[in-house]
Amino acid sequence: YGFKSHSAGKEHVFVVMNSVFPAEGSKFISERYDLKGSTVGRECSEEEKKKKGSNAVLKDNDLAREVNSMRRSQSSASFPTYGINIGARGKAALLTQLRRDVTFLQDCSVMDYSLLVGVVNLEGKAIVPFNFASDKSRRRMKRNGHERIIACMATPLGHLSAPPIYLGKKLISAWENMLSTVLTLPFPYYGAGDCGVDGGALSIIRGRRLGHRAIYYMGVIDFLQPWTVSKVLERDIKGLLGYDTKAISCNAPKDYAARFLDFIDSHVT
């Protein structure tokens, strides 16, 4: 929506946009991310996490650390459960739409936008971030010879049992999704029938978050910053100060768009 106002000989333009998160969202959104694809200064401080709890805004480096660590520890044959976990079909649909949106923003010569993500845990359990030095991983490193032999024998047995296990998981997942749909429509917050999020089919996506069934609220925000001379100077000055100009937020629209899409592609599973 747009509105123009004239006062004291000046023209003021107000832009009103839909909220990515629904009303009362702070009561049930357990995690929120602001993702740009840049890495310089893109992390949530421990002070903010302690002060704001689930209302703290996590950023690119927070998600990247989790994904990189879990990608190394998880078997390549298993389905990924880390990152923004919405499945192959959901990821393909999301990236297709983001490519269209980003192409438009690039044509408009704007940058500095980000993908805002809100996570709702449907199982009512606290989502525990990945523990980089868990006891389980340490025990795995201390396996003795007998345990290694058993592990080697378990691999072919695992391959033989994979098809029925896969079908079983699919059936369980379908049942959980159907049940959660029935139980969460209308969504359990005040005014859900009147104040829902209407940002298109991909603004609300069902998926999983670290093994728990979840709903993701998503939307591209802060897309009104044009690529101006001052932004060119900002990039160049930061480069002279020793910052990696490919990693800072301030980048030309074409470079910004490519980096943004690459990051989302790498951290959505």
pLDDT in tens, the chain (269 residues): 556 666 677 787 777 777 888 877 888 899 999 999 999 999 999 999 999 988 899 999 999 999 998 888 776 656 778 899 999 999 999 999 999 999 999 999 999 999 999 999 888 655 554 444 344 444 444 455 556 666 666 666 666 666 777 677 777 767 766 655 544 443 444 444 445 566 778 889 999 998 889 999 999 999 989 999 999 999 999 999 999 989 999 999 999 999 999 999 999 99
Task: Of 32, 2, 1, give the one whose Cα is nearest residue 18.
Answer: 1
Q: Can you give the pLDDT at residue 73? A: 79
CA 222 – CA 152 distance, rounded (Å): 51
Q: Can you give the pLDDT at residue 146? A: 59
- Inter-residue contact 216 to 207 (CB < 8 Å): yes
Q: Can you give the pLDDT at residue 77? A: 54
Q: Which two tokens stand for residue 220?
A: 């591209």
Residue 141's contacts (CB-CB under 8 Å, 6 or more residues apart) are none
Q: Can you give the pLDDT at residue 132? A: 41
CA 267 – CA 209 distance, rounded (Å): 12
CA 196 – CA 187 distance, rounded (Å): 9
Length of the chain: 269
Whole-model pTM above 0.85? no
* The pairing of beta strand 2-7 with beta strand 10-15: antiparallel
* The pairing of beta strand 212-221 with beta strand 114-121: antiparallel
Task: Of 209, 212, 207, give the one whose Cα is nearest residue 58.
Answer: 209
- Inter-residue contact 225 to 21 (CB < 8 Å): no
CA 269 – CA 267 distance, rounded (Å): 6
